[in-house]
Structure 1
């Protein structure tokens, strides 16, 4: 727009410019618009105080300047937009890096939530430009500090879970709570007000930690000046709260899996133990039936061997008496006497081994026979003490030089157990005798300084009672331990053991009394048998071993 003379008739169309010209004294004006994509974004105006119109060249030059101004303004705006996008991208990258770092900590610490919570408050404090960050967890109606990071002091570790604190309010409403200046909120947030007066917090932001729509805690950010948090910072803090919930859930899930794994492991161990006992019981039952049949078949001919051997010994003596008055030369008599003595010695060996065979057969029958006696309540401590005393005096009667230290540790609360006393006494005598044998045998193999020792102990286990028999003998090798409850298995020299003692003991404890028998041994150190007996039983009064 070119006004050659502002006060002439051509200026009537621009009363505002005419009035301005009269006031400032200019008479000629030239206006060129700043056009960007067809839209006017500004104008360049030239003025002269005298009537002196601008030339065409000057008009075109001003249009060039206007175009250059539009380009310059566009460049500045574009630069500012690029700068803003760069800031946004940098901020987003920083936020994503912070979140990624926390996810990395979560992945590397599946069993411990403390490092994760610490990393969260550190990132929240730094990325949200807060003076401090506090993460609290709900426990028994109170909020406990789980992690803290920042310059502001935290003079308490817990506070009530109610709406008087920013953390409590955000958890109750399950929404972020943003207080621009907590010092002005006397009635709304009394706990936050009190902490502000003491610690200096002004702007406060609290975000709940939600697990399945239930608040389990909160993260609180504080600033010492009135400087509200941005929407981006609020959303970022919500992301941190979600990550804290994931970390806590992972740890809880891991603990549940661990506990379930332990339960399954215990169940598997119990199942294997029961399976082993079942196999052993079935094996012993089959062997018991087999040995019972064999023993019955052997018993009758064995009785004939024993009886006629003893009778033949008497006949030898009678033959010797008959030959005494007979007139025989010395050589014949010496030969006759020698033959009768040899015959008698041979018969004595037959009688000796016949009696041993008879003992084996009796044990075989005992292994499969019906139990005898009444099942009745018996004081366990008295039963173990009597068995220990009986075994000791029996060993002393057999060997006058027998010496061993006896330790007794009886639990007064062991009380009574419903059992077959004769059968349990048989088990205890067997175990104690085996312990005597192992301890005294080791003494013969050791130098001075070794003292044979056997200990007997009881313990109350509630609805069960434990009996322990322990010796400090040479222990039991692993290969022997696997077979020690098998019938006829023995490590004693021939003539000293039948191999039925532990097998019979297993039957009495496991099958007749529904208990358990366990062995703990360390070769060269000790052997300990652990008997577990239930206090009561649903079995009938007459027990059986089959």
Structure 2
């Protein structure tokens, strides 16, 4: 009863077990059954409660373990999150730094590749590199393969410029020499500890380098050297240096390598442009010399003709001068005799002769002026010019020039000048060279054909002018061998010639074409092999 009051079911079912066992021995079946049933009832309840308690315990234990695990997970998560956050912040900082570096590099790349001026390129790189890393000392050396030196046109130490200096490739105890020879970068964060990887001695590190203000340079602790490459060749190097140890990381080296790529491309372009400009200047000078040579060559062709043309009027001047001298003596005799009528007649003869002397003197003067006009540099100013007189002048001079070379040569010269043309506004020196060139070419081809075909061939060169509306045509025609169709498209190209080596520069027709074009005109050619060629200049009247 007490056990029931305190709900000690374990004690109750043990008591009923003992009572059941007692009544069984006493053979009190009714009491035995009663207590045996109670025994099983309470034992089942106790077992059930034990199982429930055990289950509760296990549940509580599981929940506690779960809470412990969750707490550990939370703790670990917080630790990992903290670590990840720190890593994320670091990565973000690195990304921002990389973005800023890329932005600066892009700006440098744009700036230095948009110019061909060497000093602008060097200064632009220096002005921006300090945004990327510590560049207390900065330099760009250009490799001079001809004299085997590295020439520093720009080197700066704490904002102070070095005087331009060079490093000899023979000096093996120099970092830049190692960099150029090995085509590899140098990466040092403690020069005293690491220099031995590249050179044997540090004694000559700052040899020959002198600041413009005369102050001495100190030894740098951290150094980066990167070769500037174009294709597989080294054209120079770029270096940044710091007075602090451990100033640089792989990130800085990668940036400098990128900067070296930009700079090498810009320097290569600048040097190529400089070389191109020098070549163009040399070509211009050569062209001017060739043009002058062509002018002198054509003048040389005229020399004999000029001499012949001058000789004729000079002969007249000399002859009439001698006659006048004799007439003066005769007139003096008649004066002494008092024959006034004879004196008047002689005086008239002297005057007539003097007019002839003046006429032929002016003729010689005109020939000399024409020669001087042809040889001197063109003024570039157009002036009214008698096209007919110009063409006729050069036809006769060119013919006599050729005759002076070969007295046996004769050719038929035909002219047909349109007198209605009048004066045409041209640069006479320039257009005269064109006409002379065409006439010389015509005489040359008929001369060559005559040598090949001495019998049955009559060399003929025709020069004509004609006014057609607002155009003036100047034609030079020959009955030579004609121009082969396969070379017809090339005749106005510079340096193209069908003449043997040494007999032509190949510039005559090219210059003629350019001169006519500059006058706003055109030059046409009509040719037939075996029959001859006609060149026609078409100008505005």
**TM-score category (smaller protein):** 0.3 to 0.5
Which of these two proteins has the greater Rg computed from alpha carbons? 2
**Bigger helix share:** 2
TM-score by length of 1: 0.43
TM (normalized to structure 2)? 0.44
